[in-house]
A = this chain, B = another copy of it.
Amino acid sequence: MADDEVTVPGATPVRPAGPHRDLAWGRWGDPADATPLPDALGPLLEQALGVRRPGAPVPPLDAARPAPSRLSATARRDLVAIVGDAHLRDDDASRARHARGRSTTDLLRVRAGDLADAPDAVVLPAGHDEVLAILRACAGHRVAVVPFGGGTSVVGGLTPDRDGFAAVVALDLRRMDALLDVDPTSRTATLEPGLRGPDAEALLAPHGLTIGHHPQSFLWATIGGFAAARSSGQASAGYGRFDEMVVRLRVATPTGTLDVGRAPRSAAGPDLRQLVLGSEGAFGVITAVTVAVRPAPAVRAYDGWRFPSFATGTDALRSLAQDGPTPTVLRLSDEAETALNLARPDEIGADGAGGCLAIVGHEGDAADVADRRARTADRLRALGGSPDPDAGPAWEHGRYRGPYLRDALLDAGALVETLETTAFWADLPALYAAVGDALRTTLTDLGTPPVVLTHVSHVYPTGASLYFTVGCAQADDPVAQWRAAKAAANAAILATGASISHHHGVGVDHRDALAEEIGPLGVAVLRATKAALDPDGILNPGVLVP
């Protein structure tokens, strides 16, 4: 790839076959895939959590009435001149759909009829140059810009501070959905940011290649979002995090184009890719992402293993992460999550077989998977594990379904949300205890004692992440209720010396905690970088940068 190329000369960009599909209004995913509340769960919610009444329903989209658009006629005209009339949308439904992401508080506010975060218009650029022009125009009109990929942020990444801006536009990247280039020799692919996970994989499949990035949001989130938020997929043990896959980025900023990444690794100063990765649209708009790709695996085998306790299971995962063999997928539920298995919604409430369930997956060619799977099994037995034959396929079946269950639980009147953190191995037991205690204490004090389920979701030689799922009855003000619980969890995370997020990102929700995590000099670096690239501060104001 020569300096000024993102596409190979003559290469034709390839795009997904089907039309763009919107996320369900006020809910997750595709309405056709909605998960009804398992029958066993109703009595359990009432008895265990004290859920007494259903939650507020999602108002119909055609009744959504955001406040009148504040986008001025001149700004609108300038934006239409860039993208064309068909690609600026300021109807109520389009604005409402772009109001927020998919955190539980985002969903609760939609259910409460709160559309205060709706952008004043939605702009759909066709490519890098249009993004550059939009950013220049918006800077001139003092219009804030919210880059919008899959719309799946769970940390307030799509709800910027509006103070001081004439208007806010969502920059919806859905039209930038091409596979631009495949380099089979270097095993890289260059993708536009608006490509959703399955579409990216479908375009790479004819080349026999895969990215292998499969977060729970995989079906709806986009390549640009994976990069901007430092996403990590369920198969990170094998394929690495998304930030580890990215080798090159093109970024449109209000001050011009930033191209970073001329080699896998370099000593040409700081790795500026790692400053763009995790920048969450606050420094620029990622318009092309070159990632490492691999041969698509012929075989995918997911096995369940039971451990006598979370401690012994955690030690087993640490052993694999440090000394191998390394599976492709590796995760471990604690006793509570194993008993109330959210990975198998149809079994919720069933009595677990006890202990802690690990999911251990291997992907690759048949011989490689057979070899690694056998070696991993030997090791896990030696570390106290025993096989659970049904758990692997059940996890695979449910791996992307958690958010649908959340919708059903919100309908039923429960409050359900997740949060995650990460630390070095030595600190993991204290982190596990502190966050769980903070959530239980806070929500119990509010009169809504919760269940807290935890799993180790990603492992590294030096540490791991913890992923918490919290469920309780909705209080009268469930948004305030969750915020109190979340604040207590954040404080526990910071006090333990852990990081405020392993893969959800920062957004608005974690901004103040980030400031505490990286300290005043870290904040100064973020602010200086933003000022250099976005001097008018129009990009996602209030997101990420304290």
CB-based contact A500/B268 at 8 Å: yes
Q: Considering only CB atoms, which chain B residue lies closest to A247 in the complex?
A: B462
- A491-519 CB mask vs B (1 if < 8 Å, else 0) is 00011111111111110001000100111
- A257-278 CB mask vs B (1 if < 8 Å, else 0) is 1111011111111111111111
Give bound CA distance, A294 to B427, whole Å. 19
Give bound CA distance, A521 to B423, whole Å. 33
Give bound CA distance, A494 to B244, whole Å. 24
CB-based contact A264/B518 at 8 Å: no
CB-based contact A256/B520 at 8 Å: yes
CB-based contact A504/B267 at 8 Å: yes
| Chain A, interface residues (CB within 8 Å), range | 35 or more
User: This chain: how many copies in the complex?
Assistant: 2
A531 to chain B, nearest CB (A): 6
Q: Considering only CB atoms, which chain B residue lies closest to A511 in the complex?
A: B269
The reply on A452 being an interface residue by CB < 8 A is no
A221 to chain B, nearest CB (A): 13
- A439-459 CB mask vs B (1 if < 8 Å, else 0) is 000000000000000000010
8 Å CB contacts to B: which residues of A221-271? 229-232, 241, 243-244, 247, 253, 255-260, 262-271
Give bound CA distance, A18 to B452, whole Å. 54
Mark the stretch among A96-104, A181-189, A192-200 that contacts chain B. Answer: A181-189
Q: Considering only CB atoms, which chain B residue lies closest to A183 in the complex?
A: B426
CB-based contact B502/A266 at 8 Å: yes
Q: When A262-B498, A531-B528 are in contact, do A1 and B518 touch as well, CB less than 8 Å?
A: no
8 Å CB contacts to B: which residues of A282-336? 292, 294-295, 318, 322-323
CB-based contact B501/A268 at 8 Å: yes
Q: When A3-B497, A531-B528 are in contact, do A521 and B256 touch as well, CB less than 8 Å?
A: yes
The reply on A522 being an interface residue by CB < 8 A is yes
Give bound CA distance, A274 to B278, whole Å. 12
Instruction: Find chain B residues with CB under 8 A from A460 CB.
Output: 264-265
CB-based contact A183/B424 at 8 Å: yes
Interface hub of A183, A518, A525 (most chain B Cβ within 10 A): A525
Q: Considering only CB atoms, which chain B residue lies closest to A459 in the complex?
A: B264
8 Å CB contacts to B: which residues of A70-114? none
Q: Considering only CB atoms, which chain B residue lies closest to A498 in the complex?
A: B262
Q: Considering only CB atoms, which chain B residue lies closest to A315 in the complex?
A: B185
Q: When A1-B497, A424-B188, A528-B528 are in contact, do A270 and B276 touch as well, CB less than 8 Å?
A: yes
A290 to chain B, nearest CB (A): 9
Q: When A264-B424, A265-B502, A267-B230 are in contact, do A521 and B461 touch as well, CB less than 8 Å?
A: no
Q: When A187-B322, A258-B519, A461-B292 are in contact, do A424 and B265 touch as well, CB less than 8 Å?
A: no
A241 to chain B, nearest CB (A): 6
Interface hub of A230, A244, A264, A544 (most chain B Cβ within 10 A): A264
The reply on A524 being an interface residue by CB < 8 A is yes
CB-based contact B263/A463 at 8 Å: yes
CB-based contact A266/B188 at 8 Å: no
CB-based contact B425/A518 at 8 Å: no
Instruction: Find chain B residues with CB under 8 A from A423 CB.
Output: 262-263
Instruction: Find chain B residues with CB under 8 A from A498 CB.
Output: 262-263
CB-based contact A268/B510 at 8 Å: yes
Q: Considering only CB atoms, which chain B residue lies closest to A155 in the complex?
A: B267
Given contacts A186-B424, A262-B497, A524-B532, 10 further A-B contacts (CB under 8 A): A2-B495, A185-B318, A186-B463, A253-B521, A262-B498, A264-B464, A266-B500, A268-B501, A269-B518, A271-B278
Give 23 CB contacts A-B under 8 Å: A5-B497, A183-B424, A187-B425, A187-B461, A230-B265, A230-B266, A230-B267, A231-B267, A232-B267, A243-B271, A255-B521, A260-B518, A260-B522, A263-B502, A265-B502, A267-B278, A267-B503, A267-B506, A268-B278, A268-B501, A268-B517, A270-B278, A272-B518
> 5 tightest A-B contacts by CB?
A274-B274, A264-B460, A528-B532, A230-B267, A528-B528
